[in-house]
A and B are shown apart, each in its own frame.
Chain A
Amino acid sequence: MHVDNAILKEHGIEGGPLRTLLLGNEAIARGAYEAGVAFACGYPGTPSTEILQSLAQYHEVRSEWATNEKVALDTALGAAYAGHSALAVMKHVGVNVAADTLFSASYSGVKAGLVIVTADDPGIHSSQNEQDNRQYARFAKIPMLEPSDSQECKDFVRLGLEISRQFDTPVFLRTTMRISHGKSIVELGERIVNDSGPREFEKHPHKYVLIPAHAQRRHPIVEERVRKLRAFADTFERNQIEWRNRKLGIIASGHAYLCAREVFPDASFLKLGMAYPLPEKLVRELAAGVERLIVVEELDPFYEEQILAWGIAAEGKSIFPITGELRTSTIRERAIQAGLLPADSDIAIADPANDAEPFVAMVRPPALCPGCSHRGVFYLLRKKRLIVFGDIGCYSIGVLPPFNAMDTVTCMGASIGVAHGALQAGITDKSVAVIGDSTFFHSGIAPLVNQVYNGGGGVTLILDNSATGMTGAQGNPGTGGTLMGEQHRPVDIAQVVRGLGVEDVWTVNAFDMEALDGAIEAALAVEGRPAVVVVREECVFVERPGPGVLTVLTEPCTACGICFKVGCPAILKDEAHLFRGKRPKAMIDPLMCTDCDICRQVCPFDAIVSVR
């Protein structure tokens, strides 16, 4: 093997295009930069987060973390109304939050291009559901592009903006986890700005002011637009029939297309770059040219239902699963069962060496990091046996052993409202709502003021770790640190809470177990009105809690196991030191320990000490 000139090319020395490996998310950011996007915003959420984080390196694009996805879409829409190409970025469930604006934006149209990225999570790697957001495209009547690798991620931003301008509509760009977090080779280009928008706002009240009289006139325009987009889909260059063997025809997009190509290298394909609307002529052409037509799509039978509605014979969900992520192996297994492939095409089944009993490896449950400021709270919540109404964030790990201290997790910002409803319905158990700082700013303020307004009496713990922790410790209004690196005045959560009308507010340090316990007890003692405890300490990704490390003194340790109940990955069983020859004592991994001090405070035998 020789080294080709890729190294030279990558650095642009050879005069060819710059080629580099990019995540799908990084490629979307690059695409936005090259396509002349002026403004981009979103809310962090797996698997979408790296798009804006990567875009922030390009200073020509103003990029912002919004407080939630609706605010993000409002903001991007405002930029587009003002004549500047804009990008709104969110994970699939974020579109639920932004849906109100989405449907209005469909009616109002845009001036400059507006692309909305929805990053879906088939397989539920890091979400509360695996909703198929292709349904939103049909529901809101706006077109949707779906890339299958990083090069397409980059290209489709530009194409999406063009379609947006041409048809006066927002355009969805839908990725899935494997596309967002898959890396492949991308050729880089230059930034081209198409619309350096006007400084003055152009008034179009018949479009932008959706009073009933205007909206009634806009709806037929939206339906006409869908009709035009259907015709456009048949000419769209990224919807392509690949003719191979005529026995089997396959319709697919995104990651499912790639997996299906591996399983059926000889089949003919309609590769869809546009998930909505579907190109009817191309579908009919493929159907007419093959003996058997199948649809390989992840999650919902979105294409299949449309194709069947056209009266075209096709099979899809009768063969392939409707739940979970489609992997090549799943497609292969199901294809064999459906008689599309001979049984011996599965090596894993055919190989006699695999007859031995399979090894099932133990799971590695996610854990709060060593030094996590949520640890002390959940240690106490477990001990107090409260009903805990939880929320979205790292602290949802509180549901797992050893804490087992979370009873509901619904969606962003739901904790306080769910707690209020349970209390108003008359539950007699002592309970708390638990919500993080970023989640509080996202959608926790409205339910708290609702509690005040309706005379509720719940206790809310706001776990303020100065970070949107789960997605990589991004800044939020509580820190004042922005995506582009500016520092603005931090919003004081306790002050916000008081401003909402909550009289009983405590602020405590997350690593001071006695103060924390006292504040929770005091809040629980408040009757007839809401009480809030703000639990303060930085996420370990923002700041390490202490300078030293903690260590277990083997002599006084009685292997009582209390320190194991703080659920710290740094605390291990010391099989070399058994108490009375039976139970292993505790030991602390000095490489993992961050000196947060919680295990030292809970140890009843003073067997843990801090050392420098």
Chain B
Amino acid sequence: MSIPKLDFLIGGVGGQGALTASDILAEVGMFAGYDVKKSEVHGFSQRGGVVESHVRWGDEVLSTLGEEGRIDVLLALELLEGARWASYLKPGGLAIVSRQELIPISVSSGNAHYPPADTLEEVARRATDRVHFVDALTIAEDLGNARASNTVVLGLLSTFLDVPEEVWLRVIRRRVPSKHVTVNERAFAAGRELRR
């Protein structure tokens, strides 16, 4: 293998499908011939809370968790979460951040304020100059299923990795419910288009 390791961090909000996205990413790594590990969090933290899922590819992967300041790729499924995890990127790491905003309950039921979008984008830009903001939710809604937005993000990610497109599609077909396969294939293609 040409690289010793590749650490991904998927940040999102409970209910967004971050775990499915990280499952797909982990399985693609395995089919590409890597040792793979993945971490996820269940239970109390799932109820609308922050979801942090690590996926690691390498010749031999030890811990299931990557380290702050050493992550190669950040996939953020929500804008605030992109800012939250930006410091986990290594210098020059790749960030793909969905512009979707999910407002924490503390904003409506308390006095908290969701930060302005440009503030959050700036946090991610400060962490790395390799950051791509994606209107993944809008793209997925236009395709007819908001829940395919994560697949748009994965489609864009796939253009940065040396893994055949067919491997991604195989795994996506295995992982999403059969009635949603077509829309997810389209979402993946739309994500790849973003790089052209």
In Å, the complex CA distance between A47 and B110 comes to: 31
A567 x B105 contact (CB < 8 A): yes
Which of A149, A347, A366, A565 has a CB less than 8 Å from the CB of B49? A366
B43 x A125 contact (CB < 8 A): yes
Distance of B168 from chain A, by nearest CB (Å): 11
A347 x B69 contact (CB < 8 A): yes
A240-264 contacts to B, CB under 8 A, are 255, 258-259, 261-262
A255 x B64 contact (CB < 8 A): yes
Centre residue among B26, B86, B105 by max chain A CB count within 10 A = B105
Distance of A381 from chain B, by nearest CB (Å): 15
Which of B2, B49, B67, B166 has a CB less than 8 Å from the CB of A328? B67
Distance of A128 from chain B, by nearest CB (Å): 10
Q: A348-B68, A397-B47 are in contact. Are A591 and B62 (CB under 8 A)?
A: no
Contacts of A262 in B (CB 8 A): 62-63, 67
A359 x B109 contact (CB < 8 A): no
A358 x B87 contact (CB < 8 A): yes
Q: A149-B37, A402-B110 are in contact. Are A354 and B83 (CB under 8 A)?
A: no
Using CB atoms, name the residue of chain B closest to A184. Answer: B37
B110 x A471 contact (CB < 8 A): no
In Å, the complex CA distance between A364 and B39 comes to: 20
B109 x A564 contact (CB < 8 A): yes
Contacts of A183 in B (CB 8 A): 23, 26, 36-40, 64
Which of A125, A126, A178, A364 has a CB less than 8 Å from the CB of B65? A178
A21 x B65 contact (CB < 8 A): no
A182 x B64 contact (CB < 8 A): yes
In Å, the complex CA distance between A365 and B106 comes to: 7
Contacts of A401 in B (CB 8 A): 106, 109-110
In Å, the complex CA distance between A47 and B41 comes to: 9
Interface string of B32-51 (1 = CB under 8 A from A): 11011111111111111110
B167 x A3 contact (CB < 8 A): yes
In Å, the complex CA distance between A213 and B164 comes to: 70
In Å, the complex CA distance between A353 and B81 comes to: 21
Residue B61, interface by CB 8 Å: yes
Which of B23, B105, B114, B166 has a CB less than 8 Å from the CB of A367? B105
Contacts of B39 in A (CB 8 A): 178, 181-183
In Å, the complex CA distance between A23 and B84 comes to: 26
Contacts of B61 in A (CB 8 A): 184
Interface string of A165-189 (1 = CB under 8 A from B): 0000000000001100111110000
Contacts of A1 in B (CB 8 A): 1-2, 32-33, 162-163
Using CB atoms, name the residue of chain A closest to B66. Answer: A328
Contacts of A367 in B (CB 8 A): 47-48, 105
Contacts of A361 in B (CB 8 A): 80-81, 83-84
B163 x A362 contact (CB < 8 A): no
Residue A211, interface by CB 8 Å: no
Per the CB 8 Å criterion, the residue count for chain A at the interface is: 66
Contacts of A185 in B (CB 8 A): 30, 35-36
Q: A3-B164, A348-B69 are in contact. Are A364 and B108 (CB under 8 A)?
A: no
Interface string of B77-99 (1 = CB under 8 A from A): 00011011011001100000000
Contacts of A397 in B (CB 8 A): 47
A359 x B90 contact (CB < 8 A): no
B159-196 contacts to A, CB under 8 A, are 162-164, 166-167, 170
A6 x B47 contact (CB < 8 A): no
Residue A327, interface by CB 8 Å: yes
Residue B17, interface by CB 8 Å: no
Residue A368, interface by CB 8 Å: yes
A329 x B68 contact (CB < 8 A): yes
Q: A362-B114, A402-B110, A470-B43 are in contact. List 14 more A-B contacts (CB 8 A).
A: A126-B42, A181-B40, A183-B36, A184-B35, A185-B35, A327-B67, A328-B63, A347-B69, A353-B91, A366-B47, A401-B109, A401-B110, A564-B108, A591-B146
A-B residue pairs in contact (CB < 8 Å), sample of 17:
A6-B30, A6-B31, A6-B32, A49-B42, A126-B43, A184-B37, A184-B38, A262-B62, A348-B87, A354-B87, A361-B83, A364-B104, A366-B44, A367-B47, A567-B109, A573-B107, A586-B108
The 10 closest A-B pairs by CB, nearest first: A126-B43, A348-B69, A46-B43, A361-B84, A182-B64, A402-B109, A126-B44, A183-B38, A366-B47, A4-B33
